[in-house]
Structure 1
Amino acid sequence: MGDIIQQLHDISFEELHPNERLKAESDYLRGTLRRSMADRASGAVSDADTQLTKFHGFYQQDDRDLRSERRHQKLEPLYSFMVRLRIPGGLVSAQQWLTLDDIASRYANGTLRITTRQTFQYHGVLKENLRSHLQAIDEAMLDTIAACGDVNRNVICTANPHRSTTHRRVFELAQELSAHLLPRSRAYHEIFLGEERVAGGEEEQEPLYTKHYLSRKFKIALAIPPENDVDVFAHDVGFIADSEGGELRGFTVCIGGGMGMTHGEPATFPRLSDVVGYCTPDQVVEVAEAIMLVQRDNGDRHDRKHARTKYTVEDHGIAWFRAEVEKQLGYSLSEPHDFHFDSNRDRYGWHQGDNGNWHFGLFVENGRIADFDNGMQLLTGMREIARIHDGDIALTTNQNLIITNVADDKRDDIMALIDKYHMVKNVSALRQSSMACVAFPTCGLAMAESERYLPSLIDKLEQAMHDAGLSDDAIVVRMTGCPNGCARPYLAEIGFVGKAPGRYNLYLGGSFTGRRLNKLYRETIDEDTILEELTPLLQRFARERIEGESFGDFVIRKEIIAATTAGRHFHD
């Protein structure tokens, strides 16, 4: 047990963030959740239990569109829960898809949403339905444990294990990491699945986390060059695969990435991870554990805004952090290997895997699987595809999906359903490169619209791109309703971060490959100003770019915006 964790047994809780007392006194995440769930007088759970539900994979929310009306009617807010699944590597079977679709209509708002961490989340789950909802997920051999909270979150990797032997092995490692770093408390099973409690000591309850858990969330990503679809440098830990001739030889290890910040507080900033070494495939799980334990023992437990691994690295230095990891391991990491990324986008349409089967990449705008007024029936179409498909369905961290392992004689059947339900529209490369968080009406942190607004803004940006002769060009555009960075906006070539209703900070200069942060260009601007700023820049890009140059590289080369060389210089 590390020095900091040992100190937590003796230190005054008044010196720590209140969440630290809550975790330590929660009886390993049980709290008073049984009582809160049984209370039918309110659609909410207690304030303390609201924090604990996150460890079990769901957040309490309310419909912000209805707050004023319900207040006027002297009613409590319309509380519900966002429920997020743990799906390491983002792969579900066709049968699981059908079950998750059915659960959405029975217990949630009738839609599925693909998240930026390669999983699904449901919205609109009422407290009275929550236990049944989780039990139905369990029957599909899935769960929501550790999808949120101060623990290791859903482990992500380059999408679709069926593409090659390297993809399969990396996917297996994502699953191994998730299983190994999963909290051991049985609270979830007891409270929501009806399991009987069995007595056990502290070490049995949480051998890795202890009763204090982590200081903040912890995220792991595995990437397979030349694709950086997972934005590997945006996470606490990144593993970059090194393979040759179908043989996975090892991984370059990265530490200290993270996206969140707070408006007006320059001590908070997004950060890209540092390359620190190299390990073999057999060492990946123990290396990830060692990094997590160093963070467990040294993460800031006083200030949650300063509690992520990125700040521990900034405070102590990457050389110190690597040395501490190597102490945990009992051996040194090897020197990192070279790697190259081409982009952080997804592939769309049909492409063939090493085994001869086919895979169809389907664009899903902002990850929302639903039937839309424009005739696009993604929910119904995917339901019908899952009924005849004998392969798997892969989710991507760019909020899209892949229908995998389609044999030659099944391609026409799948394509007929895609056409029948209008699942593929004539979508621009700009729209295919866009991504938004949920924001209003359910996210309590949202300051501005995101998912509901970005499509209409893309409409206007597409016109500006067309007028500039850039209709076929891809520019990575991302939007979030607050600065917490769920859609990784600080890596976008054009990033929008909500400041107030209808107002956004505009960031420019991210890398097309996810290897550079962007920087603030204009602050608290509305749509008219956004278009006034971007339209001439797009026209200039069309005239003055050099061959093969991306928009993010262009605005830096032309000194329109300064390059962000490190997270601590993000606000410079």
Structure 2
Amino acid sequence: MSGNLSHLEHIKADSNFLRGTIAQGLADPVTGAISEADTKLLKFHGSYQQDDRDVRDERRRRKLEPAYGFMIRARLPGGVIKPAQWLALDRIATEFATRGLRITTRQTFQWHGVQKRNLKKFMQGIHDAMATTLAACGDVNRQVVSSVNPLLSSQHAIVQEWTEKLSAHFLPRTRAYAEIWLDGKKVEDVGGEPDEEPIYGSTYLPRKFKIGIAIPPVNDIDVFAQDLGLIAIIEDGRLLGFNIAAGGGMGATHGDSTTYPRLGSLIGFIEPERIVEVAETIVKVQRDFGNRSERQHARLKYTIDSRGVQWFKDEVQSRLGYELQPLRPYRFEHNGDRYGWIEGEDGRWHLGLAIEAGRLLDNGDYRPQTGMRELAKIHKGEFRLTCNQSLVIADVAAEDRARIDELAAQYGLDDYLRDSGIRRHAIACVALPTCGLAMAESERYLPVLLPKLEASLERHGLRDAPILLRLSGCPNGCSRPYLGEITLVGRAVGRYDLRLAADFIGQRLNTLYRENVAEPEILSCLDELFAAYAAGRQPDEKFGDFLIRTEVIPPPTQNLVPIVLETIS
């Protein structure tokens, strides 16, 4: 391989299709870690090696190795989980992990603190639950997410079918996963001959790749933040096809203006039966043209921007042998979740529950992990995780609602009834103490920050105003921070960039307002802006839109979706 390729490209090429020496590292009892090269390959298997940063310095002083543990992430297309699966995944969390279950912004579960000696047992437990961790991380297409809209039961079923097809299609074909974790057993939905990767090739993709499907009028997956965003066009209950948005991505690096968040560019419409072919073609264009020498510039957004949207569209169409169709009209209204009981079009009921930072871990009277375990024992439908770290108890008969309400109240899961507008729309990444990239607190800071913001909003009569709040411990974007009306992006412990004025539908990025500030300045700035918003907002005007209209934030020129599709004829 060429010498100007990144170090990781060489690791992938030399890995024998993701095997490396992972199996040998797992068998080494001397250390709780595996080799540096194998940690890179382990991501493709759905796990990250981490250590507890709270005790890192103390262990160093005592001449002990870091307190290593592994984060494991499941691949659950569309976030749909059956009750039996829930119980199985909860059981392995209780036995082997710390900090319970966590709902991620990719609509799946991840677990923290699994010791190396238990890692294989954990992976086998997920497999036994009819799930996998294969390609939940790494330089491949990851978890495929889709819209969770309880009002549109039949449409969700249609889109979920395509979500599962796309997910299965892009799973790696290597036998390494089955060999290392499952003692050679066949992995469900993985076909093809051993050690062939017809889509990815032997070095896989230059960086991670994300696909998501949204169902208007709800953009609850932030479709324009995906490498490949698909907007389902449904009329009279029939899926006509998908508008395609390519090149979204949230990651950036402090101090490097060549890295940036980007919203996907709309390039055309395609019928359902062609979407797998189109998606594969787009992935292959990224495989062939993505930057393999500088990983910070390796996402699809940089491939597109370095060559142009028209070049990208032309390349895709040339490989397909036909042209994409003109965009179809659609309209988004919001990108948040809905909470409480909602009756679907089929007469079945769905209960949306807000889970703070997605963390299902018992704490005093608030016992969400135990509560969901008890609910899973009686529920006859399914559960749906959301990209906003919440969950839906879906497909409930009217006669079963009372028992579910009783259990929700018993374990504190009905707190959403008392939540403020900003609390209902808050997202936080994990950050400290487990994330190795974290510069500041996020998940642990959210319960500290929220009461202070709520007190300010209460003073100005804005307690119930829906405001999108995003917290991120670093600029890499797991919590989709650049799409928050209010966002804190970590700079150092206790210090953040304050970003403002994304819209409420996921079609406009926010803007830097204050750089590298601490809590007092953050609260002071926001209190002043809340006062202005309370005094000068127009009917139904959202906070981010108010900041743009009143020119607190300059009107954006490049950080929004440029087409208002209601006007497309």
Q: Same fold (TM over 0.5)?
A: yes
Which residue does the alignment assign to 2:328?
Answer: 337
Q: Give per-residue Cα distances to partners, 1:262-296, cap 9 Å, x unaligned.
A: 00000000000011000111111111111101110
CA distance, structure 2, for counterparts of residue 402 and residue 196 of structure 1:
33
Q: Does 1:68 align with 2:68?
A: no
Please say if 1:419 is aligned against 2:409. Answer: yes
Does the aligned pair in 1 maintain the 2:173–2:194 contact within 8 Å? no
Report the counterpart of residue 253 of structure 1 in structure 2: 244
CA distance in 1 between partners of 2:151 and 2:42 (Å): 34
What amino acid maps onto 1:336 in structure 2? L
Letter in 2 for 1:422: G
Aligned to 2:24: 35
CA offsets 1:16-47 (integer angstroms, 9 cap, x no match):
10111111110000001111111110000000
Write the distance in 2 (CA, Å) between the matches of 1:566 and 1:215. 26
The within-5 A match list for 1:48-447 is 48-159=37-148, 163-195=152-184, 205-373=196-364, 375-425=365-415, 426-447=418-439
* Structure 1 Cα separation of the partners of residues 381 and 194 of structure 2: 40
Deviations 1:376-402 (A, max 9, x none): 111111111110111100000000000
Change (3 A) 1:196 1:401: closer
Contact preservation (8 Å) 2:240, 2:271: yes
Alpha-carbon distance between aligned partners in 2 of 1:528 and 1:560, rounded to the nearest angstrom: 20
- Note if contact 1:202-1:210 (Cα within 8 Å) is conserved in structure 2: no
Q: Of 465, 477, 481, which residue of structure 1 is paired with 2:473?
A: 481
Once the two structures are superposed, residues 121-173 of structure 1 have per-residue CA deviations (whole angstroms, 9 ceiling, x without a partner) of 00000000000000011000001000100000100000268942211111111
Separation of aligned partners in 1, 2:551 and 2:409: 45
Cα gap change, 1:522/1:205 in structure 2, threshold over 3 Å: closer, same or farther?
same
AA at the equivalent of 1:337? R
CA deviation digits over 1:351-397, x for unaligned, max 9? Answer: 01122110000000000011123x11111111111101111000000
C-alpha distance in structure 2 between counterparts of 1:449 and 1:21, whole Å: 34
Q: Distance between the aligned counterparts of 1:151 and 1:397, measured in 2?
A: 19
- Residue 523 of structure 1: which of 515, 523, 526 is its match? 515
With over 3 angstroms needed to count, the CA separation of the structure-2 counterparts of 1:201 and 1:180, relative to structure 1, is: closer
Alpha carbons of 1:507 and 1:192: their partners in 2 closer, same or farther (altered >3 Å)? same
Match of 1:540 in 2: 532
| Unpaired stretches in structure 1, ≥5 consecutive residues | 1-10
In the alignment, the residues of structure 1 paired with residue 543 and residue 559 of structure 2 have an alpha-carbon distance, to the nearest angstrom, of 21
1:512-567 alpha-carbon deviations (Å, 9 max, x no partner):
10100001000111111101111010000111111121111111111111233325
Q: Is contact 1:481–1:497 with CA below 8 Å preserved after alignment?
A: yes
Aligned to 1:543, the other structure's residue is in SS state: helix
* TM-score (normalised: structure 2): 0.96
Report if the CA contact (8 A) 1:391-1:406 is conserved. yes
1:159-213 per-residue CA deviation (whole Å, 9 max, x = no partner) reads 2689422111111111100100111111111011100799x99995211111010
Partner Cα distance (1:459, 1:557) in 2: 28
The residue identity in structure 2 corresponding to 1:565 is T
Mean Cα deviation higher: 278-287 or 264-273: 278-287
**Partner amino acid, structure 2, of 1:105:** T
The one of 35, 39, 44 aligned to 1:46:
35
Q: Report the secondary structure of 1:209's partner residue.
A: coil
- Relative to 1, partners in 2 of residues 1:489 and 1:369: Cα closer, same or farther, differing over 3 Å? same
SS in 1 for 2:377: helix
Structure 2 equivalent of residue 562 of structure 1: 554
Q: Unaligned 5+ residue runs, structure 2?
A: 562-569
Q: Could you tell me how far apart the structure 2 residues matched to 1:435 and 1:116 are? A: 8
SS at match of 2:516: strand
Report sequence identity in percent. Answer: 53
The 3 A distance-change label for structure 1 pair 160 and 111 is: farther
What is the number of residues matched between the two proteins?
Answer: 556
Task: Please state if 1:457 is matched with 2:449.
Answer: yes
2:566 match = none
Name the stretch that deviates more: 559-568 or 310-319: 559-568
SS at match of 2:229: strand
Structure 2 CA distance for aligned equivalents of residues 422 and 520 of structure 1: 37
* Structure 1 length-normalised TM: 0.95
Q: Residues 196 and 404 (structure 1 numbering): CA distance in 2 closer, same or farther, change over 3 Å?
A: closer
Q: Quick check: 1:256–1:274 contact (8 Å CA) kept in 2?
A: yes
In the alignment, the residues of structure 2 paired with residue 532 and residue 272 of structure 1 have an alpha-carbon distance, to the nearest angstrom, of: 30
Distance change (3 Å), C-alpha of 1:515 and 1:401: same
Residues 149, 218 of structure 2: 8 Å contact kept: no
SS at match of 2:98: coil
**Backbone CA RMSD of aligned residues:** 1.7
In structure 2, what residue type is equivalent to 1:430?
I
